[in-house]
């Protein structure tokens, strides 16, 4: 079963450069980074609205939603920053450079979050092998950007 999750994560990773490139091209066509990000999120919103409407799971009440800790809503803001940043940076860094740096950043912060069990994650201590892997990835991103 874990292999299925690994393959799905890999396939999602394959989609990230396409998302960044398509959104950058959209921005180029319409001459607006912000509007391109808005259009991108509008498409995602419509897909998820449809899924929620068709889902048998009950939608949480407004009372429930308003009682949640505020930090749980940050995910959408982070997604917005990511999409807009990709639109701006992919033409400047290239798809490989952008994705390499994104993955390097994700890996570095993920090591810290796992090590301390951030927001209830299982604690997964950082060891030398994991640090070495992060260093190799950072070196790879540097090589990609410079050569």
| pLDDT tens digits along 104-139 | 889 889 999 999 999 889 999 999 999 998 899 888
Say if residue 101's pLDDT is above 90. Answer: no
Domain ranges, residue 139 = 2-146
Give the whole-angstrom CA distance, residue 111 versus residue 130: 8
Domains of the chain: total: 1
- As a whole number, mean pLDDT of residues 88-103 equals 91
> Is the predicted pLDDT of residue 1 greater than 80, yes or no?
no
DSSP codes, 117-147: TGGGPPP----HHHHHHHHHHHHHHHHHHH-
List the one residue out of 142, 81, 14, 5 whose CA is nearest residue 134. 142
pLDDT class for 63, splitting at 50, 70, 90? very high
Q: How far is CA 31 from CA 38, 107, 118, 132, in A?
A: 13, 33, 40, 42
Residue 7: per-residue pLDDT: 93
């Amino acid at each position: 079963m874990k292999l299925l999750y690994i393959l799905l994560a890999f396939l999602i990773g394959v989609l990230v450069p396409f998302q960044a490139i398509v959104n950058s091209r959209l921005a180029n066509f319409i001459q607006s980074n912000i509007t391109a990000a808005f259009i991108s999120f509008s498409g995602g919103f419509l897909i998820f609205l449809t899924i929620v409407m068709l889902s048998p799971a009950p939608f949480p009440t407004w009372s429930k939603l308003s009682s949640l800790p505020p930090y749980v809503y940050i995910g959408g803001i982070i997604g917005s920053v990511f999409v807009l940043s990709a639109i701006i940076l992919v033409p400047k860094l290239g798809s490989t450079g952008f994705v390499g740096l994104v993955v390097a950043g994700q890996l570095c912060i993920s090591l810290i979050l796992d090590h301390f069990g951030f927001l209830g994650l299982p604690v997964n201590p950082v060891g030398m092998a994991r640090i070495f892997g992060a260093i190799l990835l950072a070196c790879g991103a540097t090589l990609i950007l410079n050569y």
